[in-house]
Chain A
C-alpha cells in the first residue's frame, strides 16, 4: 500500500510516530546543548582556577603585558598579563575583516547583480574550495610565501600581524562572501526594479538600494568572519611569530590568544598555574565568541525592525 494512504488509514499510529519523532529530534538537540554546556563548564572551571586558586588579579590579567606564568615577579606574584595576546587577537581580527570586506562584498555583488551566470559557474566553486583548504596548508603557504614577501618589501623578519592578516583574509573571505550573497539575494526584486525605473544606473541601484537593504545581513556576515578569525589557531600561529609582546607595528612578531594556547598547552602540567593560565585564555576566547554571537543577534534584531 502507498505509505501516504497507509498513514491516512491509521491515525493513532501516526500520532504515536509524531510524538516519537518529536522526542527523537528533541533528544538530538538536547545532546548538542549538553555537550556545549559540558565544554563551557569544563573550560570555565579550569580557567577560573587562575583567579580563585592561584589568586591572580583579574585586572592585572587583562591589563599587564608580561606573559611568563612560570616566573614570579618581585612580589611573588606570577606574571600572567594577557594584554599582548588580547591586542594581537583583536588586531588580526579587525584588520583581516577590514581587508576582506571589500573583496567579499564585491564578489557577492558580482555573483548576484553583475553576472549571476559566471558567478555560479566560477566564483561559487572557487569560494567553496577556499573553505575546504585545511588551515595547516594555509599556514605553510603563509610561511613559505607571505612571510618572505613581507620581509623583502617592508623589512624586519616578516612575522607579525600583517602576515597573520593576509592569511586570515583568505580564510574568512568565503564566510563573509557567502553570507553577503545570501543577504543580497534576500533583497526583494521590486526594490531593484523601482530604482531602475527611476532611471538609476546599475551601480546607483546597487550602492543606494540593494546594499542599504542588505546591510544587516552583510554586517552579520562580517561579524561571523571575525568570529572565525578570532578562533583560528594553526595557520595564524605559524606566521605571527608568537612573541608575547605588545605589537609596536604590523611587521614585528606578535601573538594571539589561540597561538599561545596551542603552543603552550602540551608543555604544562594539568592543575599547575601555567596550565590554568592557558585555560583562562581559552575561557576568554569562549566569552569572546559569545560576545560575537550576541552582536550578530543584535544586528539581526535591528535589521528586522526596519
Chain B
C-alpha cells in the first residue's frame, strides 16, 4: 500500500474514532434522559421525598445539592487560588515543591470513600460539627482542592511571560502583577475549571454519605435565618444531596416507585451537570471577551 492510501485509511480511522466517542456520549445521555425524563415533573422537582410511600419528590435534595455546592466552593476557591498562585508564581524549582505537588496529586487520586471516612472522624466527631452541610462542604473541599489548584496553576502558567514583565516594568510588585494583570488574563480558564469542578462535586456521593448524612429533614422555606434548625440556610443541619439520594434509593429504598424516582433523579442530575458545562463555555467566552476587550 502506498503512503497516500495509508494516509487516507488512517484519516478515516480517526474520523471513525471521533464518531464512536460522540456516539458513546449521545447513547449515554439518551439512555439516561429517555429513562428518567418521563418521571420528572414540577411536583417531582419541588416536593419532599417519601421514605416508604410512592409519589416522593426530590425538592429538598435538589436545594441541598446547590447549597452544599455553594458552601464548598466558597471554602475551596480562595484556598485553591492562593495555593495555585504560590505554585505558579512563587514556588522555587526544588524538591520541596516536588513533594508538595506530589501531595496534591495524591489527594486527587484518593478514593472518595476514604475522604468521606476521614471527614466523618475529623469533622463530624472530632470537631463536633455533626452530620451537617458544613462537614459535607469540608469533605468536598478536600475532594475538590487538588483539581482546582492544578487548574489555577495551569491557567496562570498559560499567561504569557511578557504580561508579567509589563506589570513588573510598571513598578508593580509581584503580588500586584498577579492580582491585577495575570489573574484577569487567566480568569476564563480558572472559571471554566471551577464550573467543571462544580459539576464533579454535584455528582459526588461516596464522600458525603458519612459527612453530610443521608437524611433530609423537612425544611421551612419561609425561614431564612441561618440559626434556626429548620431553616434551609442552617449549615448545621444534615443534608442529603441528589447523588446521595440516588445511591440510597437504589441500595435500601423500599418505596414502591424507587426505580422511577432514581431514574428521574439521575436525569435531573445529568441536566444540572450539562447546564454547568454550557454555563462554563458561555461564561468563559463572554468573560474573556470582556476582560481582553476583544
Query: Which A residues contact B (CB, under 8 angstroms)?
Result: 3-4, 7-8, 11, 14-15, 17-18, 20-22, 24-29, 31-33, 35-40, 42-43, 102-103, 106-107, 109-111, 114, 118-119, 122-123, 125-137, 140-141, 145, 170, 173, 200-204, 206-207, 227-228, 230-234, 258, 261-262, 265, 282, 285-286, 289-290, 292-294, 296-297
Taken together as a complex, chains A and B put the C-alpha atoms of A38 and B250 apart, in Å, by 33
Tell me the chain B residues, 1-43 only, with Cβ under 8 Å from chain A.
3-4, 6-7, 10-11, 13-15, 17-18, 20-22, 24-25, 28-29, 31-32
Residues of A within 8 A of B98 (CB): 297
The CA of A127 and the CA of B26, in the complex, are separated in Å by 11
A231/B111 contact (C-beta < 8 A), A106-B13, A129-B25 known: yes
B217 at the interface (CB under 8 A from A): no
A40 neighbours in B (Cβ, 8 Å)? 106
* Across-interface contacts of A4 in B (CB, < 8 A): 170, 172, 180
- Distance of A104 from chain B, by nearest CB (Å): 9
Those of B219-244 within 8 Å (CB) of chain A: 243
8 contacts between A and B (CB under 8 A): A18-B176, A20-B175, A107-B21, A129-B29, A132-B277, A233-B111, A265-B117, A285-B111
Report how far A231 CA is from B4 CA in the complex, Å: 43
Question: In the bound complex, how far is the Cα of B264 from the Cα of A140, in angstroms?
Answer: 13
Instruction: State which residues 261-291 of B face A: CB under 8 Å.
Output: 262, 266, 269-270, 273-274, 276-277, 280-281
Q: Which residues of B contact A32 (CB under 8 A)?
A: 79, 83, 103-104, 107, 145-146, 149
Number of A-B pairs, beta carbon distance below 8 Å: 245
What 9 pairs between A and B have smallest CB-CB spacing? A134-B203, A28-B82, A21-B175, A106-B17, A25-B86, A18-B173, A201-B7, A132-B199, A289-B109
> In the complex the two chains form, what is the Cα distance from A286 to B114 in whole Å?
10
Q: How many residues of B contact A (CB 8 A)?
A: 87
Say whether A29 contacts B87, CB under 8 Å: yes
Structural contact, A26 and B175, CB atoms closer than 8 A: no
Q: If the complex has contacts A29-B83, A204-B7, are A234 and B205 also in contact, measured as CB distance less than 8 A?
A: yes
Chain B window 106-120, contacts with chain A (Cβ cutoff 8 Å), 1 for yes, 0 for no: 110111111101100
Cβ–Cβ contact B266 & A140, under 8 A:
yes
Chain B nearest CB, measured from A114 CB (Å): 5
Contact B203 A136 (CB under 8 A): yes
Q: How many angstroms between the C-alpha atoms of A3 and B179 in the bound complex?
A: 12
**Which residues of chain A have C-beta atoms less than 8 A from B172's C-beta?**
4, 7-8, 14
Given the contacts A129-B25, A131-B196, A36 and B106 also touching, CB distance less than 8 Å: yes
Q: How far is the CB of B107 from chain A (nearest CB, A)?
A: 5
**Would A29 and B82 be within 8 Å (CB), given that A14-B176, A39-B110, A43-B114 are in contact?**
yes
Contact of A136 with B176 at beta-carbon distance under 8 Å, contacts A28-B82, A29-B87 already known: no
**Inter-subunit contact B176/A17 (CB<8 Å):** yes
Q: How far is the CB of B185 from chain A (nearest CB, A)?
A: 15
B165 in the interface, Cβ–Cβ < 8 Å? no
B85 contacts the other chain (Cβ, under 8 Å)?
yes
- B137 sits at the interface (CB 8 A): no
Bound CA span A119–B15, Å: 10
The docked-state distance in angstroms from the alpha carbon of A224 to that of B180 is 33
Question: Do residues A201 and B3 form an inter-chain contact, with CB atoms below 8 A?
Answer: yes
Tell me, in angstroms, the Cα distance from A119 to B18 when the chains sit together: 9
In the complex, B258 has a CB within 8 A of chain A: no
Q: Most chain-A Cβ atoms within 10 A of its Cβ — which of B91, B104, B110?
A: B110
Contact of A103 among B20, B25, B178 (CB under 8 A): B20
User: A14-B172, A136-B205, A140-B250 in contact; A231/B110 too (CB < 8 A)?
Assistant: yes
Contact B273 A127 (CB under 8 A): no
Binary per-residue interface labels of chain B (46-72) against chain A in the complex, 1 for a CB within 8 Å, 0 otherwise: 000000000000000000000000000
Q: Are B17 and A18 in contact (CB under 8 A)?
A: no
| Min CB gap A10→B, angstroms | 11
Contact yes or no, A134 B243, CB < 8 A? yes
Q: Which residue of A is nearest B121, CB measured?
A: A42
Task: Please name 19 further chain A to chain B contacts, defined as beta carbons within 8 Å, in addition to the given A4-B172, A21-B85, A136-B243, sorted by A numbering.
Answer: A25-B85, A35-B145, A37-B103, A39-B115, A40-B106, A103-B20, A109-B14, A110-B15, A110-B17, A125-B277, A129-B29, A133-B28, A140-B262, A141-B31, A173-B21, A201-B3, A201-B4, A231-B110, A293-B102
Interface pair B175/A134, CB less than 8 Å apart = no
Report B-chain residues with C-beta under 8 Å of the C-beta of A26: 86, 90
B3 engages A204 (CB within 8 Å): yes
Which residues on the B side are within 8 Å of A200 (C-beta)?
3
The CA-CA distance from A24 to B89 in the complex, in Å, is: 13
Question: A22-B175, A32-B149 are contacts. A202–B86 as well, Cβ < 8 Å?
Answer: no
The answer to whether B107 and A103 have CB atoms under 8 Å apart is no
The interface residues of chain A lying within 8 Å CB-to-CB of B266 are 136-137, 140
Per-position contact with A for B207-220: 1 when CB-CB < 8 Å, else 0? 00000000000000
Residue B247, interface by CB 8 Å: yes
Asked, given contacts A21-B179, A42-B121, A136-B205, whether A29 binds B100 with beta carbons under 8 Å apart, the answer is yes
Query: By the criterion CB–CB under 8 Å, are A126 and B114 in contact?
Result: no
A7-B176, A134-B269 known; A233-B103 Cβ under 8 A: no
Note all chain B residues with C-beta closer than 8 A to A20.
175
Give the distance in Å from the alpha carbon of A100 to the alpha carbon of B95 in the complex: 33
Residues of A within 8 A of B274 (CB): 129, 132
Q: B128 near A: Cβ within 8 Å? A: no
Chain A CB within 8 A of B134 CB:
no
